[in-house]
Amino acid sequence: MEITFSNEVGIESNIENVYAYLSKMENFSTWNYAVMSVEPVENGTNANYILKRDLGNKIETETVTVLETKLNQRLYFQANGGRFPYEMKYELQQSGNGTILTNAVILKPAGVNGIMLKLLKSNIQAEVNKNLNVLKHILESG
């Protein structure tokens, strides 16, 4: 079972700045409230990271693998090891002096987790949108 959604946010910062900040995975802990830390791991061909997420009642560790990057256009990664695997796609488009950032999320839960996540989809989408707005604020302030 896959659960998908997307969010879009306009950022008053040029596409180069947005991409540079977003593509540095270690920055995720600055703008995503649930991410405690992101640390790079050496692993041959793909860029891998260990991400620690605070879920309130426990801390989960995920392995994040960057699947694709395209300078100033796209960042695509997958995560495994947490409650369920997921994929994140970030697409950037220039819009005047700013940037339109579209985030597509693919959650891949199994069993009971899938049923629960389907019920909570709109809440999860809203939380992801809040994180994107924190990112927007950081990039527009700096």
How far is Cα 45 from Cα 18, in angstroms, rounded to an integer?
A: 25
Q: How many domains does the chain have?
A: 1
Any domain includes 44: no
How far is Cα 63 from Cα 61, in angstroms, rounded to an integer?
A: 7
Which range is least confidently modeled, 41-45, 56-60, 101-105, 117-121? Answer: 41-45
How far is Cα 5 from Cα 116, in angstroms, rounded to an integer?
A: 16
Q: What is the per-residue pLDDT for 139?
A: 98
- Residue 129: give the domain boundaries: 3-31+68-141
Any domain includes 45: no
How far is Cα 80 from Cα 90, in angstroms, rounded to an integer?
A: 18
Q: What is the per-residue pLDDT for 47?
A: 82
Q: What is the per-residue pLDDT for 92?
A: 98
Any domain includes 133: yes
How far is Cα 102 from Cα 56, in angstroms, rounded to an integer?
A: 27
What is the per-residue pLDDT across 17-68, written as a single tens digit (0 to 9) for each?
A: 999 999 999 999 999 999 999 999 977 667 899 999 988 889 999 999 999 9
Q: The CATH number of the domain where 96 resides is what?
A: 3.30.530.20
How far is Cα 36 from Cα 61, in angstroms, rounded to an integer?
A: 10
> Three-state SS for 115?
helix
The DSSP secondary structure of 19-74, one letter per residue, reads: HHHHT-GGGHHHH-TTEEEEEEE--TTS-EEEEEEE-SS-EEEEEEEEEEEETTTE
Q: What is the per-residue pLDDT for 45?
A: 67
- The amino acid at residue 65 is T
**pTM here?**
0.92
Any domain includes 23: yes
- The amino acid at residue 53 is R
